[in-house]
Chains A and B, each alone.
Chain A
Amino acid sequence: MAGTEVLGRVTWRSGKVVALFDETSSARTIGIVVPDWPGHVAGQHIDVRLTAPDGYSAVRSYSIASAPSSDGLIEITVDRLPNGEVSPYLTQQVMVGDELEVRGPIGRWFVWSPEQVGPVQLVAGGSGIVPLMAMIRSRASAGSTVPFRLLYSIREPGAIFYRDELQTLSSQGDSVVVTYAYTRATPKDWPRPAGRINRELIDSGTWPANLQASSYVCGPTSFVESATDLLIAAGQDRERIRTERFGATGERK
C-alpha cells in the first residue's frame, strides 16, 4: 500500500502503532509512525482504513492531535462509540506494533499554523478538542505567543482529554486561557450549573468581538451549529469562524 505516491497526491500508507495512552475511560490516544509522512498542519485529519479477512473495509476520519513534527510520528485520539465499527477496535484491541492503513494529511481549510499572528478562539464540544489540541500544541512547540483561548464543553470532569497538559499550558506566561463548560455533571463547588453552551458562557469564555479573533469550532454537528450561532450573536464575524463537524455520533463517517 505504502509508497507509490503520485505528485503529492494523498495515498494510503501503512503506519505502525508505537504508543497507546488512555485519555479517559472511553478514549485512547494512538501514536502512529508513518513512513514517508509528508508532515501536517494543526487541524488536519487522517482517514484510517480497517479491512476484515473477508475483504470488508471501513474508513473513518480522525483528527490529528499532535503538533507538526518531522519524525513521521502522529497521534490521534479516538473516542469509543458503543455501536461503532471502527472505534471499539482502535480503543480496545489495537496493540503496539500493529499496522494501520492511513491516508492523509487531509484538509487545508480547518488549519492553524504559527505564521498566523491574530488572536485565536477555540471552541470544542467533546472530542472536538482533538484538532484544537493540535493547534495549542503547535503554538507551544513553535514558541508562539499569539493570544489563544479555549472554551471546552464537556459532559463531565472525567471526560476531559489532555487534562494535565492543558493545565500546564494554561498556567504559564503567555498561556492559553482555558474555560471548561460542563453539560451533565460539574466538579464539586463549580460556580456554573451543568448545562448546554449559551450566550452567557460565550460572553465569559471567549474573546470580545472587538479583538477580531479567528475562531475554530469543532464538535458534534448540533454543538457546532449552536456555538457558531452564539458566536455570531455575540458579534463575531462569520467570515472568521471556521467549523468542523463530527456528526451526532461523534464518528465522522
Chain B
Amino acid sequence: MNASMNYLDGNAAAGELSRIFAADITSAEGKCANCGAKKSFAEAHVYTRCPGLVARCALCGHVLLRFTNVRGRLFLDLRGMTYLSVDGAPLMSGEARSGHAPKE
C-alpha cells in the first residue's frame, strides 16, 4: 500500500487542522481503532492528493482521520481513532510553547 511513498505525515496536516483544533495536533497522541497502536499524530501517514486530507496509521494503514472542505463547511471524520489526547495546557504564546518541547 505504501510502496509508492506518495504520503507525507501528520506535520503536513497540522496547519489545516488548526482550523478546528486549538491544541497542537502533531504532538497529540491517537490510538488506532484497528490495530491499537498509540502514536503521535505527526507520525501518521497523510495523503494530500485527494479532496481534503486522509491520515492513515503508520503501522497498519487504517484510516485514522478524514478532513474535507465542502463549499465552505469543514468535515472531520475521526472514527478511525479510539481516542485523541492533546496537551491540556493553553496555547497562548511562544514562551509558553517552548515549555512544551519534548524533554529528554
Query: Which of A's residues lie within 8 Å of B, judged by CB?
Result: 7-10, 37-41, 45-47, 59, 61, 68, 103-113, 115-118, 214, 221-222, 225, 242-248, 252-253
B63 to chain A, nearest CB (A): 18
Instruction: Identify which of residues 32-77 in chain B touch chain A, using a CB-to-CB cut-off of 8 Å.
Output: 40-43, 48
Given contacts A38-B94, A40-B94, A221-B8, contact A109 B26 (CB under 8 A): yes
28 contacts between A and B (CB under 8 A): A7-B22, A7-B90, A9-B22, A37-B94, A38-B93, A38-B97, A41-B98, A45-B11, A47-B15, A105-B97, A106-B14, A108-B26, A108-B27, A108-B97, A108-B101, A109-B10, A109-B11, A109-B26, A109-B42, A112-B101, A113-B101, A116-B102, A222-B5, A243-B42, A245-B7, A247-B7, A248-B5, A253-B48
Q: Is the C-beta of B92 less than 8 angstroms from some C-beta in chain A? A: yes
Select which of B5, B9, B101, B103 is within 8 A of A244 by beta carbon: B9
Count CB-based A-B contacts (< 8 Å).
123
Contact of A59 among B15, B22, B90 (CB under 8 A): B15
Asked if B79 lies at the interface with its beta carbon under 8 angstroms from chain A, I say no
B85 contacts A by Cβ under 8 Å = no
Bound-state CA distance A56–B14 (Å) is 21
CB distance from A213 to the nearest CB of B (A): 10
* B12 in contact with A253 (CB, 8 Å): yes
Chain A residues lying within 8 Å of B12, measured Cβ to Cβ, are: 61, 245, 247, 252-253
**Distance, CA A45 to CA B5, complexed state (A):** 22
Counting from the closest, the 4 A-B pairs by CB-CB distance are A39-B94, A47-B15, A109-B42, A109-B26
Asked if B100 and A243 sit within 8 Å, CB to CB, the answer is no
Known: A40-B94, A115-B103. A61 touches B15 (CB 8 A): yes
| A202–B8 CA distance with the chains assembled, in angstroms | 23
Q: Are A214 and B104 in contact (CB under 8 A)?
A: yes
